């Protein structure tokens, strides 16, 4: 696949096999700098596996990952994070006693070496997602929406250039989803952060993404604009359902 300076990510023939199960097979695509790209498909299609391989949680069985033109396939998660490839991660149970500020500082420590510096970086990320007034709340006290925003702030505190969101919007109300869409759009436009978004809430994908990759059974089924995807017979049959109303989502188009 042709690689250009305009691509922050180039994925070449990526395959991940678990025992007898091929979770990702021969996956190739490119993501331009500054894009917001959607990754959709049925349960078990291999979306989270692909993210984990990109992040260095899984070692690819075959294939290569280039980040900003450099082969990172052998790099650790920490090395990838320092280069700017990061995800929102669910805060572990053991973090329940931490405040939002302390949890976000964990993200900041991927770059900062001193406490004051980590705190300043964390505060900046917390302000960026609009939850400064709650920074002292314990994680265990947070509702789903605040938790999601705190997770986003933790990822932002690592200063990402490419941020992977795996079902960040799950469990949020329609209004909260609208606000999160606005926030992702602002982070993309204001900070130039590139996003890949895995989401079953389709209007998130249709609102934000110029390009959508559809996975099915570990393989790429289709790549295209949201409108193309929403009207593709193969995608309708494999995932969206034959009665999916593409016009319903047209109004969100970027």
Binding-site ranges for ligand ATP (CB under 6 A): 18, 21, 23, 41, 43-49
Q: How many CB atoms lie within 10 A of CB 90?
A: 14
Residue number, 19 or 233, with CB nearest to ligand ATP: 19
Residue with tokens 């110029």: 210
Binding marks (x or -) toward Mg ion, 29..68, rule CB under 5 A? Answer: -------------------x--------------------
Minimal distance in Å, beta carbon 48 to Mg ion?
Answer: 3
Here the tokens at position 137 are 């709340």
Q: How far is the CB of 22 from ligand ATP (least distance, A)?
A: 8
As measured in angstroms, the least distance from the Cβ of 171 to Mg ion is 14
Whichever of 167 and 185 has its CB closer to ligand ATP, that residue is 167
Q: Which is nearer to Mg ion, 44 or 225 (CB)?
A: 44
Cβ 98 to ligand ATP shortest distance, Å:
26
Query: Is 47 or 80 the residue whose CB approaches ligand ATP more closely?
Result: 47
- The token pair at 130 is 């609009």
The entry of Mg ion, ligand ATP, none that residue 83 binds, CB within 5 to 8 Å by partner kind: none
Name residues whose C-beta falls within 8 Å of residue 192's C-beta, 6 or more positions apart in sequence.
33, 34, 161
The tally of CA atoms less than 13 A away on the side-chain side of residue 251 is: 3
Shortest distance in whole angstroms from residue 102 CB to ligand ATP:
29
Strand pairing partners for 66? Answer: 10, 71
Q: How many residues bind Mg ion (CB under 5 A)?
A: 1
Choose the one of ligand ATP, Mg ion, none that binds residue 18, judging by a C-beta under 5 to 8 angstroms depending on kind: ligand ATP
Query: Which partner from the list ligand ATP, Mg ion, none does 44 bind, CB cut-off 5 to 8 Å by kind?
Result: ligand ATP
Using DSSP, state whether 213 is helix, strand or coil: strand
Q: At what angle do helices 100-108 and 144-156 cross, to 10 degrees?
A: 30
Considering only CA atoms, which of 151, 152, 165 is closest in space to residue 196? 165
Distance separating alpha carbons of residues 82 and 51, to the nearest angstrom? 17
Quote the least distance from Cβ 47 to Mg ion, whole Å.
5
Least distance (Å) between residue 198 CB and Mg ion: 6
Nearer to Mg ion, 9 or 168 (CB): 168
Alpha carbons within 13 A on the beta-carbon side of 237 = 5
**Smaller CB separation from ligand ATP, 23 or 112:** 23
Torsion of CA 73, 75, 78, 83, to 10 degrees: -70
- Whole-angstrom distance, CA of residue 177 vs CA of residue 170: 9
Q: Which is nearer to ligand ATP, 49 or 188 (CB)?
A: 49
Chain residues that interact with Mg ion, rule: CB under 5 A? 48
């Amino acid at each position: 696949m042709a690689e250009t300076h305009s691509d922050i990510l180039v994925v070449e023939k990526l395959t991940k096999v678990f025992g007898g199960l091929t979770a990702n097979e021969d996956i190739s695509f490119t993501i331009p700098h500054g894009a917001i790209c959607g990754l959709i498909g049925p349960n078990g299609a291999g979306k989270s596996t692909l993210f984990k391989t990109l992040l260095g949680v899984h070692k690819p069985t075959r294939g290569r990952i280039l980040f900003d033109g450099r082969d990172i396939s052998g790099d650790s998660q920490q090395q990838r994070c320092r280069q700017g490839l990061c995800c929102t991660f669910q805060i572990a149970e053991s973090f329940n006693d931490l405040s939002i500020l302390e949890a976000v500082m964990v993200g900041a420590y991927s770059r900062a070496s001193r406490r004051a510096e980590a705190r300043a970086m964390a505060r900046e990320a917390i302000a960026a997602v609009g939850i400064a007034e709650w920074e002292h709340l314990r994680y265990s006290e947070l509702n789903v929406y605040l938790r999601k925003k705190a997770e986003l702030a933790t990822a932002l505190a690592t200063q990402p250039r490419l941020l992977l969101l795996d079902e960040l919007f799950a469990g949020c109300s329609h209004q909260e989803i609208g606000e999160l869409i606005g926030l992702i759009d602002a982070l993309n436009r204001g900070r130039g952060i590139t996003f890949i978004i895995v989401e079953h809430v389709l209007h998130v994908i249709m609102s934000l993404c110029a390009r959508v990759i559809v996975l099915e059974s570990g393989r790429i089924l289709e790549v295209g604009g949201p409108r193309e995807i929403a009207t593709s017979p193969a995608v309708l049959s494999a995932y969206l359902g034959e009665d999916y109303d593409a016009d319903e989502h047209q109004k969100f188009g970027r």
